[in-house]
């Protein structure tokens, strides 16, 4: 305390755009994906480093927003430091060492206790996903022992030549998250609770991509890892694990203005992205959550905000009927979203979407969730990844994938099926074909 440092604060956020090709999978090396800035002070003795900010502003398409984001991060750290000083004054302590040791020691012991309740052994699972130009295989061997849980991704696909690769630290984060969700969800995240969970992947695999591999949309692969882990832990846990879900966020980055099409001009320049989610997998005793971001936990951006900051119209955003996999517990539903230029101009979409060719799998007899789809409202299919142009007067149509079901659909409570029918979550045809429920007045 006083003039002696006792802690470090860090904060992070996705800014709207930082140079390069933009937030998409088309880059071939990390140098194409943004601005590489070495570690340097953003401020010195309370004075902002204007040289650094000038470099950043010059290399982004939305300089005002990005600079504001950086200042907001500084404010977060300032508020954290203020609150920490207040806590230390309240409890009359001048060091965090004893407190942090106590927290980490107990957290580690509690996590190991939860792990010890599981049957030791090695459990295997694999998940196939779309990738960019070819399917990607994610293979895991999860070992439960007295010392903890180790997940080895040996056998997974090699690095891609596109920006879907994952650095090992990101692989470790989402793998550990998946383990903690099922094994020790109530224990706080800290060095102690995370230390019994270790991860390895061969260098040069898509889950341990060395620099300068392109990694801009690492989330598309990395956010699938809890599903891979759940498939392993399902074999070891008496209550089972949720079915697979849409998992990776659907994040349409939209851009207008010069360069988005072969036309000399394409309306007002803009760059905007919004977060959307498909359905979660059904749980052993509950339905999957619909249009819910898991494992990221990111909230969707309201339509009104997108329309207020970019010249686009969102014509449709609603649940996608029948997209949740049938089961004793139904998978969560995806969404249908339709977007058009408000200026009758061309705009570009930087597609980074998964679960189109390989939908979320059901578990224990549950049906798969519906696969995703990217198209124009007029009917033409688009690719799930890569920059593409939406012509004047056309609407971009996104059909987000649903989560897999859990258990035999014929064991689902008929009242739950009727409630889904009433709420428009399933059709009469699905109610009959998948659940055996005949609906009066329908053709099913």
- In this prediction, residues 181-198 reach a mean pLDDT of 96
Average pLDDT (159-171) is: 96
Q: Which value, to the nearest 10 degrees, does the dihedral of the CA atoms of residues 109, 114, 116, 122 take?
A: -120
| Segment 223-243, tens digit of pLDDT | 999 999 999 999 999 989 999
Tell me, what's the pLDDT at 441? 61
> Please, what is the Cα angle at 218 between 17 and 14, to 5 degrees?
30
pLDDT(399) > 90 = yes
Torsion over CA of 349, 352, 353 and 354, rounded to 10 degrees?
Answer: 160
Give the burial string for 394-412 (b: 16+ CB within 10 Å, else e).
Answer: bbbbbbbbbbbbbbebeeb
Spatial neighbors of 269 by CB under 8 A, at least 6 apart, are: 61, 256, 257, 258
Task: Give me the torsion for CA of 37, 175, 218, 61, rounded to 10°.
Answer: -50
Say yes or no to pLDDT of 442 above 70. no
Q: For 272-296, how does the pLDDT look when each residue is reduced to its tens digit (9 = 90+)?
A: 889 999 999 999 999 999 999 999 9
Judged against a pLDDT cut of 90, whether residue 173 lies above it is answered with yes
Per-residue pLDDT of 349-379, as tens digits, reads 999 999 999 999 999 999 999 999 999 999 9
Give strand ranges (E) for 266-371: 270-273, 312-319, 335-341, 347-352
pLDDT band at residue 35, thresholds of 50, 70 and 90?
confident
Q: For residue 89, what are the contacts with CB-CB under 8 A and spacing of at least 6? A: none
pLDDT of residue 155: 97
Question: In the predicted model, what is the mean pLDDT of the chain?
Answer: 93
- In order of 86, 166, 179, 227, 426, the CA distances from 171 in angstroms are 36, 6, 12, 13, 36
Local confidence band at 93 (pLDDT 50, 70, 90 cut-offs)? very high
Mean pLDDT within 202-212: 96
The first and second tokens of residue 396, run together, are: 């971009």
Which has the higher per-residue pLDDT, 33 or 319?
A: 319
Rounded CA separation 147/152 (Å): 15
Is the per-residue pLDDT at 337 higher than 90? yes
Q: Residue 443 pLDDT more than 90?
A: no
As a whole number of angstroms, the distance between CA 154 and CA 141 comes to 8
Tokens of 231: 């498939």
Tell me if 399 sits within 8 A of 334, measured CB to CB: yes
- Whether residue 317 has pLDDT greater than 90: yes
Supply angle C-alpha 186, 192, 196, rounded to 5: 90
Write down the pLDDT at residue 228: 98
Per-residue pLDDT band at 265 (split at 50, 70, 90)? low
Quote the pLDDT of residue 18. 79
Angstrom distance (rounded) from CA 13 to CA 149: 30
- Residue 1: pLDDT band (50, 70, 90) is low
Domain boundaries, the chain: 30-95, 118-241, 242-412
Q: Of 403, 358, 400, 396, which Cα lies nearest the Cα of 377? A: 396
- With cut-offs at 50, 70 and 90, classify the pLDDT of residue 438: confident
Average pLDDT over residues 158-177: 96
* pLDDT 10s digits, 68-88: 999 999 999 999 999 999 999
The pLDDT value recorded for residue 65 is 87
Q: Is the pLDDT at 178 greater than 90, yes or no? A: yes
What tens digit of pLDDT does each residue of 95-143 get?
999 999 999 999 999 999 999 999 999 999 999 999 999 999 999 999 9
Q: What is the pLDDT of residue 266?
A: 67
Inform me whether the pLDDT recorded for 300 exceeds 90.
no
* pLDDT reading at 24 higher than 90: no
Per-residue pLDDT, 351: 94
Answer for the pair 149, 196: CB distance below 8 angstroms, yes or no: yes
User: So what's the pLDDT on residue 60?
Assistant: 86
% pLDDT > 90, the chain: 82
CA distances from 45 to 40, 59, 103, 127 (A): 13, 26, 32, 50
């Amino acid at each position: 305390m006083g003039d002696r440092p006792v802690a470090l604060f860090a904060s992070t956020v996705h800014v709207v755009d930082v140079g390069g090709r933009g937030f998409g999978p088309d880059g071939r090396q990390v140098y194409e994906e943004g601005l590489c800035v070495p570690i340097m002070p953003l401020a010195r003795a309370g004075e902002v480093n204007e040289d650094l900010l000038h470099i950043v502003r010059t290399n982004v398409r939305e300089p005002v927003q990005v600079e504001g984001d950086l200042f907001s991060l500084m404010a977060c750290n300032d508020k954290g430091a203020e609150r920490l000083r207040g806590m230390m004054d309240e409890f009359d302590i001048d060091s965090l060492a004893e407190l942090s040791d106590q927290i980490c020691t107990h957290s580690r012991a509690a996590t190991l206790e939860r792990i010890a309740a599981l049957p030791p052994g090695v459990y295997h699972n694999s998940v196939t996903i779309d990738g960019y130009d070819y399917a990607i295989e994610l293979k895991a061997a999860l070992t439960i022992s007295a010392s903890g849980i180790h997940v080895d991704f040996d056998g997974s696909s090699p690095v891609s030549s596109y920006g879907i690769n994952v650095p090992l630290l990101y692989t470790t984060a989402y793998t550990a998250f998946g383990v903690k969700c099922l094994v020790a969800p109530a224990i706080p995240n800290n060095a102690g609770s995370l230390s019994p969970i270790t991860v390895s992947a061969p260098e040069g695999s898509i889950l341990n991509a060395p620099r300068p591999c392109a990694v801009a949309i690492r989330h598309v692969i990395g956010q699938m890892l809890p599903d891979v882990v759940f498939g392993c832990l399902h074999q070891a846990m008496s209550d089972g694990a949720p079915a697979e879900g849409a998992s990776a966020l659907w994040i349409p980055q939209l851009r207008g203005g010069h360069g988005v099409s072969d036309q000399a001009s394409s309306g007002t320049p803009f760059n905007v992205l919004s977060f959307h989610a498909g359905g979660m997998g059904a749980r052993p005793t509950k339905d999957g959550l619909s249009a819910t971001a898991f494992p990221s936990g990111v909230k969707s951006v309201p339509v009104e905000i997108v329309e207020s900051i970019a010249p686009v119209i969102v014509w449709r955003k609603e649940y996608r009927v029948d997209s949740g996999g049938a089961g004793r517990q139904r998978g969560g539903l995806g969404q249908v979203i339709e977007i058009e230029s408000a200026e009758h101009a061309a705009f570009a979409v930087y597609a980074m979407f998964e679960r189109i060719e390989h939908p979320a799998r059901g578990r224990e007899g549950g049906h798969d969730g519906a696969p995703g789809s990217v198209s124009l409202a007029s009917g033409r299919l688009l690719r799930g990844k890569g920059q593409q142009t939406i012509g004047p007067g056309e609407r971009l149509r996104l059909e987000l994938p649903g989560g897999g079901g859990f258990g035999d659909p014929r064991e689902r409570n008929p009242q739950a099926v009727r409630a889904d029918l009433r709420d428009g979550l399933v059709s009469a045809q699905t109610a009959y074909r998948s659940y055996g429920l005949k609906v009066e007045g329908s053709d099913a």
